[in-house]
Homo-oligomer: A and B are copies of this chain.
Amino acid sequence: MQSIRTETGIRNTAILLIYCPDKQGILAAVTEFLNENRGNIIYLDQHVDHEEGIFYMRVEWELDKFAIPREKIADYFQTLIAQKFTIKFSLHFSDKRPRMAVFVSKMSHCLFDILSRYTAGDWETDIPVIISNHDTLRPVAQRFGIDFHLIEKNNSNKAVQEQKELEILKQYNIDFVVLARYMQVLSDQFVANYPNGIINIHHSFLPAFAGAKPYHAAHERGVKIIGATSHYVTIDLDAGPIIAQDVVRISHIDNVDSLIRKGRDLEKIVLSEAVYKHLQRKILVYNNRTVVFN
């Protein structure tokens, strides 16, 4: 399906995500480096974790008049700034659209929400492929014109099937994976391929109700608020760095079915918020926690 938004202004900018031990002068050094080379800063946000002594920064600047050619920016920044302050950084360009794969099972609400935003042109991404362990959502993929691969899994074939999935991801040049209510646990080997590159939605307010059937558990416990949590997948189940959370108020009137119904809206909004922040390169991960810039 063609994007229904006819024009999107393509910005020609570079983005630096930085973290390093906090020291005097880092902020001044980075902004000077950009200013001196005629890089007009259009976004700057920084955060100091005084407890851990870590400085975090996201800066975005226009490349049009920038004196350093884009292919040399990383090298120059490393030499002139990063090594002085022991900075770890990643460099991104806004005209490079990350490529995203979506993993689904049978539930459609998160997938529809993703494809709606994608079709409307709200996200600077390409979604060439959907992978599922069920055939249920193939028609949805077809209507949106996206390739759909059925990779069924069971306990005995998991390693083989994950290998197939990884090959598909490679074939489509996928940069990051979104688990849109994908009801399978990925192996550590799979996860290792995409560090901070697999975004999951868990249907509870983590760390409460990790694991299976969180709405049943929430109802059983009698909570008055339920939630949803998007996080990067790590080898510890439901314990990766949290990107976004949201909640909705419930009451004794709700049963498990109505929790599931109300939870769907939370899940899709929270997952899409996490994807948006990831696409904007606004997330830094350190010590299993995220800095999510505004």
Contact = CB atoms under 8 A, between A and B. Distances in A.
Interface of A: 1-2, 4, 24-25, 27-28, 31-32, 35, 40-42, 44, 46-51, 56, 108-109, 112-113, 115-117, 119-120, 122, 136-137, 139-140, 143-144, 205-209, 221-225, 227, 241-247, 249, 251-253, 255-256, 261, 264-265, 269, 272, 288-292, 294
Contacts of A46: 44
Contact of A47 (B120, B253, B290): B253
Contacts of A136: 4
Number of copies of this kind of chain in the complex = 4
Contacts of A241: 222
A116 B108 contact: yes
Nearest to A294: B253
B261 A122 contact: yes
A228 B167 CA distance: 44
A47 to B, nearest CB: 6
A223 B252 contact: no
Given A122-B261, A207-B208, A209-B207, A290 B2 contact: no
By Cβ-Cβ distance, the 7 closest A-B pairs, closest first, are A222-B289, A112-B116, A208-B208, A28-B31, A252-B291, A224-B245, A143-B143
B244 A247 contact: no
B261 A269 contact: no
Contact of A225 (B209, B247, B256): B247
A247 B246 CA distance: 10
Contact of A221 (B27, B44, B137, B242): B242
A167 to B, nearest CB: 28
A291 B132 CA distance: 41
Given A1-B143, A49-B255, 9 more contacts: A4-B136, A51-B256, A112-B115, A113-B113, A143-B143, A205-B205, A205-B225, A223-B242, A225-B246
A289 B252 contact: yes
Contacts of A292: 224, 251-252
Contacts of A25: 31, 35
Given A28-B32, A40-B24, A137 B222 contact: no
A226 to B, nearest CB: 10
Contacts of A221: 206-207, 242, 289
Nearest to A230: B224
